[in-house]
Structure 1
């Protein structure tokens, strides 16, 4: 997958154990809503602009804890039980076949008709569980709001974020349908452009976005990637370990 990154950082060493770690704001009580996290509004704003959450879609949410993004996806894709009370099934003539699957290393409290897989993104067992959950379908949308535990050192936080983006992209390439959508969060820094270059090699359209719900001082942003073209046959095996281990300024 990421032959681009082999030119950015030398190989060797072991990556920090980051895959699947998702640090979100703790669930908070927001007036007039029942979402589990503030980040739910980021996804709503992204979908308002790019329109990727729709009826009959299978959505995979990486780093789903505490469940805010799963709630938004379930409601917008008309998962059974999430339709408008005034318009069952959103007014559609046929029942929705939408599904939402969440993955996180932290245990998420159950949500109605949302399947949860506890595991680290990047682990073979987690990939196997995701493939089993999908069955004979591919995901139409893969979301990643994963973020590392921040150190306050921008250089470190950026590279740790990029490592999670690599894990998310590796899994995405194995489960996303052709023409599908990938939404991924990254902390801006020196390798943001290189990651976007990789994404452009896999999707027909890659947009950069920072929802209004993001804090102004935050360095987080999202790539909204639409029209998945498929996995490059030349890079079926992704060597993530060591991609960013020889960092500038590190002995």
Structure 2
């Protein structure tokens, strides 16, 4: 059951709206009730629906790209953990892949509804052959940007959750090292506290700049941050 009360801002231009309060229903956990209430009152969720994005996460990538200019027309992008497709939508629009200028390859363990201008493949990024499979999908070409918004299912144990997310970020980096053009960029989700030391060391060795970013579109109570590495030096095999 939901209940609306006056007050609060929509977050999209000072409009006053309704705050939706969700009563705990029989059989629904308190955590689920809180999540539902947060979703119903999240201006980014509302705006994503209005603009046709598949997830509020699209605004995180938009905000990061507006600042760092990763997704330029004609670039080739790999979107790892792409479901439900919000980041792929943003990438396709910005590199203009639907018009044939750029290219976007999206990968996920689960199928997603087709996104115009995006090639999709079912892939386990932790597969040792994942990089080669993506290179095949790219017809032997290389990418300019590797994106990863992947997150493992939360266990509730902070240290364990952190290690699992770092593991996915490292798998994404394996793919980046196998597929990026020199000068390319890597963007991956990690958790509060940032990337682990081993991951940071690899990034500093392989890229000219490494930074942590937290877009405003990330919820204030979320522990997620993103690690951004730019200026890929080139894989060892490239000399």
Q: TM-score, normalised by structure 1?
A: 0.72
Secondary structure of the 2:163 match is: helix
C-alpha separation between the residues in 2 aligned to 1:190 and 1:224?
11
Q: Structure 2 vs 1, CA of residues 123 and 31 (structure 1 numbering), >3 Å: closer, same or farther?
A: closer
Q: Which runs of 4+ in 1 moved over 4 A?
A: none
Secondary structure of the 1:54 match is: coil
Secondary structure of the 1:207 match is: strand
8 Å contact kept, 1:40–1:69: yes
Unmatched segments (≥5 aa) in structure 1: 1-24, 82-95, 234-251
Counterparts of residues 137-156 of structure 1 (less than 5 Å): 137-156=141-160
More helix by share: 2
Corresponding residue for residue 181 of structure 1 = 185
8 Å contact kept, 1:117–1:126: no
Corresponding residue for residue 199 of structure 2 = 195
Corresponding residue for residue 15 of structure 2 = none
Deviation of the 1:201 alpha carbon: 1.0
Secondary structure of the 1:180 match is: strand
Q: Structure 2 residue aligned with 1:115, among 113, 119, 124?
A: 119
Corresponding residue for residue 93 of structure 2 = 75
Secondary structure of the 1:226 match is: strand
8 Å contact kept, 2:195–2:227: no
Deviation of the 1:31 alpha carbon: 4.6
For the aligned residue pairs, the C-alpha RMSD in angstroms reads 2.0
1:209 maps to 2:210:
no
1:220 maps to 2:224:
yes
1:51 maps to 2:64:
no
Deviation of the 1:198 alpha carbon: 2.0
Corresponding residue for residue 40 of structure 1 = 58
Q: Structure 2 vs 1, CA of residues 134 and 191 (structure 1 numbering), >3 Å: closer, same or farther?
A: closer
Residues paired across the two proteins, number:
194
C-alpha separation between the residues in 2 aligned to 1:217 and 1:197?
28
Offset from partner CA, 1:188-218 (integer Å, 9 cap, x none): 3486344223211110111210000111111
Per mean C-alpha deviation after superposition, the further-off stretch among 158-167 and 121-130 is: 121-130
C-alpha separation between the residues in 2 aligned to 1:115 and 1:31?
23
Deviation of the 1:125 alpha carbon: 5.0
C-alpha separation between the residues in 1 aligned to 2:64 and 2:197?
20
Unmatched segments (≥5 aa) in structure 2: 1-38, 40-44
Deviation of the 1:171 alpha carbon: 1.0
Corresponding residue for residue 110 of structure 2 = 106
8 Å contact kept, 2:82–2:108: yes
8 Å contact kept, 2:81–2:108: yes
Deviation of the 1:180 alpha carbon: 0.4
8 Å contact kept, 1:122–1:171: no
C-alpha separation between the residues in 2 aligned to 1:102 and 1:193?
28
Q: Structure 1 residue aligned with 2:80, among 62, 72, 86?
A: 62
More strand by share: 2
- The structure whose RCO (Cα within 8 Å, separation 6+) is larger is 1
